């Protein structure tokens, strides 16, 4: 993922609050990045996030001469760390499955990523701490009358509610009206999208609320009903790993070195301005430089890619993600190490508590990243958002003595699934492809992919479908 902008995106920052450089200025060109390469073998990859990196790895293994271009001066896209005093904070997800696809790109990386037990909790509408995600056993303490209403609404929802393509209709048809209200799903969906469910496409229910969608299919409902009759044994948790304690530089520095050893060239600090395709191949203008190759792969945000390839906006809108870097003098022991906000109050949606994931880094204060989505066109307001977060957590007795240590903003972090977005997305992708660019990954195809493994698998599949070279043997 690429970011663009200025060094002071929030105006005059409060003294003592570190801010991430969200929109880096172009750096001086690296002569190696513009060295002459044979166009018949050359591929340009636009974007140095996980999709771009995995595409570069695949193509380099297949014998292509690959150049990766990105506006940021470093690779990794949204997965980036910030050091502030004794703390290391992140923007982007830090968890990996034990067999995550990223480890296939650099097998030695796995051993640098500590194994952890992820303890996820959510703040319920009544202010209590509950398990995340929602499980049938969470409902066992509810009164029978409430359970009876939920069962009736879930059993008849598909008959009682018309499918108008909205998230609201999808939830009503699958869950009824009471369950989303009583569990806080309503609050979370609104908090994530910054729009009412009536304005969000039903695809959000499948892509972002996949666990709920799977558990409310007809076959699953019968199993759920049986589970309510007798408490199920807790399912074993798959082991997870997290980024190295030192931060994402420990991931991306060796990753870049390994790619460069296979001949991949990086042209970083260069915002992509234009992409043109002709009989002679692809021509990319980025940061005032010109790059040529046989093909171009687009792994950058789709609207910027569409503008570069066609000269027009895509018609799609995305949500920015503002991450507050917060330290706490007190944090509730029951909050786990990942806390979701399903309460009616508070703008924040998720907090990742690093001091509980990296106990060796824990000092006198806990520290965490608190995520807040921003609607299209909204200016980041870290101090107001922090005040709201501190008030909310304090009122619930979950945290105290909070300090805002810094902030980062990721542009176009999530696709905004506005009602009917799929037709706009498909048309935009068709125009990008017609312009000669191969869009891939979460950003290039405006697709919600929650894990790096999902991004990598989808990217490689899209490269295969586009007919690009593949390695002679598995990577």
Q: How far apart are CA 422 and CA 200, in angstroms?
A: 11
DSSP 8-state class, residue 234: P
Contact between 267 and 29 (Cβ < 8 Å)? yes
Q: Return the percent helix, strand and coil in the chain, to nearest 5.
A: 35, 25, 35
In the block, tokens 């060239």 appear at 265
**Sign of the four-CA dihedral 138, 139, 140, 143:** positive
Lowest mean pLDDT among 40-44, 162-166, 202-206, 371-375: 40-44
Range of the structural domain that residue 271 is part of: 23-82+244-316+417-465
72 and 141: one domain? no
Model pLDDT for residues 160-181, shown as the tens digit of each residue: 999 999 999 999 999 999 999 9
Lowest mean pLDDT among 13-22, 142-151, 399-408: 13-22
Model pLDDT for residues 313-368, shown as the tens digit of each residue: 999 999 999 999 999 999 999 999 999 999 999 999 999 999 999 999 889 999 99
147 and 210: one domain? yes
143 and 215: one domain? yes
Model's pTM, two decimal places? 0.88
Residue 13 has pLDDT above 90, yes or no: no
425 and 309: one domain? yes
pLDDT at 213: 73
Q: How far apart are CA 112 and CA 466, in angstroms?
A: 34
Residue 124 has pLDDT above 50, yes or no: yes
Contact between 171 and 187 (Cβ < 8 Å)? no
306 and 422: one domain? yes
Residue 383 lies in a domain: no
DSSP 8-state class, residue 69: E
Residue 435 belongs to a domain with what CATH number?
A: 3.50.50.60
pLDDT at 205: 93
Residue 200 lies in a domain: yes
Task: Report residue 67 as tokens.
Answer: 């150049």
Q: How far apart are CA 81 and CA 273, in angstroms?
A: 27
As a whole number, the mean pLDDT across the chain is: 89
């Amino acid at each position: 993922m690429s970011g663009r902008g200025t060094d002071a995106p929030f105006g005059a920052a409060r003294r003592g609050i570190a801010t991430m450089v969200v929109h880096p200025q172009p750096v001086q060109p690296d002569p190696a990045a513009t060295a002459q390469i044979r166009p018949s073998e050359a591929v340009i990859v636009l974007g140095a996030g996980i999709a771009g990196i995995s595409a570069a790895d695949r193509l380099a293994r297949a014998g292509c001469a690959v150049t990766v271009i990105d506006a940021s001066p470093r690779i990794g896209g949204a997965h980036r760390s910030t050091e502030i005093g004794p703390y290391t904070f992140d923007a982007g997800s830090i968890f990996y499955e034990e067999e995550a696809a990223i480890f296939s790109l650099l097998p030695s990386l796995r051993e640098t990523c500590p194994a952890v037990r992820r303890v996820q909790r959510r703040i319920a509408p009544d202010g209590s701490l509950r398990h995340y995600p929602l499980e049938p056993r969470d409902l066992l303490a509810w009164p029978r009358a409430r359970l009876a209403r939920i069962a009736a609404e879930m059993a008849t929802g598909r008959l009682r509610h018309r499918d108008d393509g909205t998230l609201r209709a999808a939830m009503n048809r699958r869950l009824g009206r009471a369950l989303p209200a009583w569990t806080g799903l309503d609050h979370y969906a609104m908090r994530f999208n910054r729009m009412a469910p009536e304005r969000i496409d039903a695809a959000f229910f499948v892509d972002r609320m996949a666990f709920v969608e799977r558990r409310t299919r007809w076959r699953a409902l019968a199993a759920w009903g049986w589970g309510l009759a007798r408490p199920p044994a807790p399912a074993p948790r798959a082991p997870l790993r997290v980024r190295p304690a030192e931060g994402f530089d420990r991931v991306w520095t060796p990753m870049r070195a390994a790619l460069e050893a296979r001949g991949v060239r990086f042209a970083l600090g260069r915002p992509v301005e234009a992409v043109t395709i002709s009989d002679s191949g692809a021509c990319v203008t980025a940061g005032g430089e010109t790059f040529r190759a046989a093909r171009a792969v687009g792994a950058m945000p789709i609207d910027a890619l569409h503008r570069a390839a066609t000269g027009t906006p895509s018609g799609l809108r995305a949500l920015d993600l503002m991450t507050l870097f917060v330290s706490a003098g007190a944090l509730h022991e029951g909050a786990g190490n990942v806390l979701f906000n399903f309460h009616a109050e508070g703008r924040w949606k998720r907090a990742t508590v690093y001091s509980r994931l990296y106990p060796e880094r824990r000092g006198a204060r806990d520290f965490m990243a608190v995520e807040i989505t921003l609607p299209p066109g909204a200016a980041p307001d870290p101090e107001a958002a922090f005040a709201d977060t501190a008030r909310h957590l304090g009122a619930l007795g979950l945290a105290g003595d909070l300090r805002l240590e810094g902030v980062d903003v990721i542009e176009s972090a999530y696709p905004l699934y506005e009602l009917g977005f799929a037709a706009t997305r498909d048309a935009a992708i068709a125009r990008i492809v017609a312009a000669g660019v191969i869009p891939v990954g979460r950003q290039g195809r405006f697709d919600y992919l929650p894990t790096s493994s999902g991004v990598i698998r989808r990217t490689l599949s899209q490269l295969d479908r586009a007919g690009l070279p593949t390695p002679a043997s598995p990577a």
